[in-house]
Amino acid sequence: MNFYIETYGCQMNVADSELVTSLLITAGHNVVNDIDQAELILFNTCSVRAHAEDRVLGRISNEKHRKKANPKIQIGVLGCMAQRMGKRLLDSKIGVDFVIGVDQYDRIPALLSAKDLQPHLLDFDSTQIYQDLMPVHQSKTCGFVTIMRGCNNYCSYCIVPHVRGRERSRPWQDVLNDVKKAGQDGLLDITLLGQNVNSYLDNEVDFPELLKRLETVDNIARMRFITSHPKDLSDSLIDVMASSKRICEHIHLPMQSGNNRILKEMNRKYTIEHYQSLIHKLRHAVPNVAITTDIIAGYPSETDTEFEDTISAMKDIGFDYAFCFKYSSREGTDAAMRTDQIPEAIRLKRLQKMIDLQREITLAKFRAQIGKEVEVYIESMSKKNKDQVSGKTRDFKIAVLKGSESEIGSLKKATVIGATAGTLICQ
Judged by beta carbon, residue 13 or residue 390, the one nearer ligand SF4 is: 13
Residue 220 three-state SS? coil
Say whether residue 195 binds ligand SF4 (CB under 6 A).
yes
State in angstroms the smallest separation of the CB of 48 from ligand SF4.
8
Say whether residue 154 binds ligand SF4 (CB under 6 A).
yes
From 149-157, 179-187, 237-245, 324-332, give the range in contact with ligand SF4 by CB under 6 A. Answer: 149-157
- Nearest of 332, 294, 43, 340 to residue 159 by alpha carbon: 332
State in angstroms the smallest separation of the CB of 241 from ligand SF4.
20
Say whether residue 199 binds ligand SF4 (CB under 6 A).
no
Q: 205-216 burial, b for 16+ CB within 10 Å, e for fewer?
A: bbbbbbbeebee
Judged by beta carbon, residue 2 or residue 267, the one nearer ligand SF4 is: 267
Judged by beta carbon, residue 79 or residue 161, the one nearer ligand SF4 is: 161
Judged by beta carbon, residue 161 or residue 165, the one nearer ligand SF4 is: 161
Nearest-angstrom CA–CA distance, 391 and 375: 9
Judged by beta carbon, residue 96 or residue 160, the one nearer ligand SF4 is: 160
State in angstroms the smallest separation of the CB of 143 from ligand SF4.
22
Q: List phi, psi (to 5°) of 371.
A: 95, -15
State in angstroms the smallest separation of the CB of 153 from ligand SF4.
4
Amino acid, res. 268: R
| Of positions 13, 47, 74, 153, contacts ligand SF4 by CB under 6 A | 153
| Of positions 155, 190, 282, 286, contacts ligand SF4 by CB under 6 A | 155
Q: For the segment 213-272, give every residue that binds ligand SF4 (CB under 6 A).
A: 229
Say whether residue 44 binds ligand SF4 (CB under 6 A).
no
Triad 381, 294, 248: Cα angle to 5°: 55
State in angstroms the smallest separation of the CB of 150 from ligand SF4.
9
State in angstroms the smallest separation of the CB of 134 from ligand SF4.
26
Triad 38, 144, 413: Cα angle to 5°: 115
Query: Could you tell me which residues come within 8 angstroms of residue 314 by beta carbon, excluding any fewer than 6 positions away?
Result: 258, 295, 322, 354, 357, 358, 361
Q: In this structure, are residues 265 and 294 in contact, taking their beta carbons and an 8 Å threshold?
A: no
Judged by beta carbon, residue 155 or residue 351, the one nearer ligand SF4 is: 155
Beta bridge partners of 319: none
Judged by beta carbon, residue 63 or residue 294, the one nearer ligand SF4 is: 294
Tell me how far the alpha carbon of residue 212 is from its chain's centroid: 23
Nearest-angstrom CA–CA distance, 196 and 199: 6
Say whether residue 151 binds ligand SF4 (CB under 6 A).
yes
By CB under 6 A, the count of residues binding ligand SF4 is: 10
Beta bridge partners of 75: 41
State in angstroms the smallest separation of the CB of 333 from ligand SF4.
9
Judged by beta carbon, residue 159 or residue 416, the one nearer ligand SF4 is: 159
Q: In this structure, are residues 45 and 82 in contact, taking their beta carbons and an 8 Å threshold?
A: yes
- Nearest of 182, 165, 146 to residue 84 by alpha carbon: 165
State in angstroms the smallest separation of the CB of 232 from ligand SF4.
9
State in angstroms the smallest separation of the CB of 139 from ligand SF4.
23
Strand bridging mode 411-419 / 398-402: unpaired
Strand bridging mode 411-419 / 373-381: antiparallel
DSSP for 109-126, written as a single string: HHHHHSSS---EE----T
- Per-residue contact track with ligand SF4, 67 to 106, x per CB under 6 A? ----------------------------------------
From 85-93, 129-137, 153-161, 272-280, give the range in contact with ligand SF4 by CB under 6 A. Answer: 153-161
Say whether residue 196 binds ligand SF4 (CB under 6 A).
yes
State in angstroms the smallest separation of the CB of 2 from ligand SF4.
34
Nearest-angstrom CA–CA distance, 275 and 280: 9
Judged by beta carbon, residue 29 or residue 229, the one nearer ligand SF4 is: 229
Q: In this structure, are residues 167 and 187 in contact, taking their beta carbons and an 8 Å threshold?
A: no
Judged by beta carbon, residue 7 or residue 195, the one nearer ligand SF4 is: 195
Is 164 buried (19+), middle (13-18) or exposed (0-12) by CB count in 10 A? buried
Say whether residue 300 binds ligand SF4 (CB under 6 A).
no
| Of positions 95, 161, 298, 391, contacts ligand SF4 by CB under 6 A | 161
Q: Is the peptide bond before 227 cis (omega within 30 degrees of 0)?
A: yes
Triad 81, 178, 202: Cα angle to 5°: 80
Which residues of the shown chain bind ligand SF4 in the complex (CB under 6 A)? 151, 153-155, 158, 160-161, 195-196, 229
